[in-house]
Structure 1
Amino acid sequence: MINIKPFENSRICKTDQIEKMFDIISYKYNFINLIISLGNDIKWRKKISDIIFNYKPKNLLDLATGTGNLPIILANKIKNINILGIDISKNMIKIGKKKIKIFYKNIKLIKADCQKIFFLKKNKFDLVTIVFGIRNFENINNVLKEIYRVLKKKGVLIILEFSISNNNFKYIYNIYSKYILLNIINFLTKNFFAYKYLLKSIKKFSQYVNIEILLKNFNFKNINILKLTYGIVSIYIANK
């Protein structure tokens, strides 16, 4: 087990700690997400894939791709699509490569820092996606700058991220996350600290970061926000 907890050691940057943390929890990550989201994780990814389908992208970049769940859904859904998935966790990418090895020749997964995608050509992608990853980036500004660079003119950025519900459901969610969710996680995995961080990061990110304003600051246009499951997650859609 990792001997530091995310963000408790100021001498080690957030990016390095995130990389180590996801390497550790990679093998149970998808299973635990499915359980603690009460199956909604699948529904959320299905919804974003339906939205992406309408754009019929030929070249798509999926940042913080994890084990490649979204690329696989899209490869089954959209003909003649080429997908590049990038994630900082070598273990996540390793699992993803095993999943795509035989049947998904149009998906390429690489281990790299999503904040440093200078090796990608500008104006290359029709669409860029980030699913539950933007809050884990140490330098969000640099990520958005690079996304803008690699997107084609009028290309689309779609972000799926947790948000704070603005209705009475937030009280139910708070009770679930505080009194039930942590107990479930503690039962399912020994790496309790990692999921405790992830839950804290959701609340902190939602309180202090406004994705819509960030997108406007980087010249993204036509910003639309779609709230799902009583607002606990949101899909952000924007054009270059």
Structure 2
Amino acid sequence: MPPLHILHIDASARPGRSGVDTRGSHTRRLTHRFADRWQAARPQDTLTYRDVGRQPPSPVSGEWIAAAFTRPERRDEAARAHLAESDVLVDELLRADLIVIGAPMYNFGLPAQLKAWVDNVVRVGVTFGFDRSRPGEPYWPMLPPDKRLVILSSRGDYGYDPGGRLESVNLVERGLTVPMGYLGLTQTHSIAIEYDEFADERLRASISAAEAAVDDLVGKLARDFAEAAKPSLAVA
């Protein structure tokens, strides 16, 4: 199969990785483990790394909105400048076959710097379409099919997964799956570390379980991509 391209995004405000650096990030630990395992299994693939935790994208402004909703051929130099950073982020998303995002839970939702990334890649006419005269639904997704999204999270408390005691206040996964699904990225996988605030054996067990789940997911996705790349056999 042809090489794949991976987009690896870290969003934690903590610069280091737990298990390596004092007060390091659990999400950075998981995303780097995923990337290391993936590249060991598929060294032919390429990877783009973006650290929005340490270098956050600019938040959307009034000028950005005006430029984004102006037809490309009518944008002046100032409008193009307002969208220049967004253009780079969108291009990275469009190129990627697999998007791996480290998304720690901050006050039940996404870090502001990761939300800024989301807002920069949700672009009318680029990643989603809109036509008022279109029959039925005026919006449609524009991302190429078959992309996969992996969300690697961490939480101070526990019970945020489906069926858990705090499921209703977990806005992290939905903060990514809803806008990304709107663009057409609907194949999603999530793994999280919990119990960070407890700092006891439950945290250690959660880290071990999450790391094992990452290893399993790397194997599963590598097999899925390989299977999807096989030519289909027509039956006469």
* Structure holding more helix per residue: 1
Structure (1 or 2) with the larger CA radius of gyration: 2
Check whether TM > 0.5.
no
TM-score by length of 1: 0.28
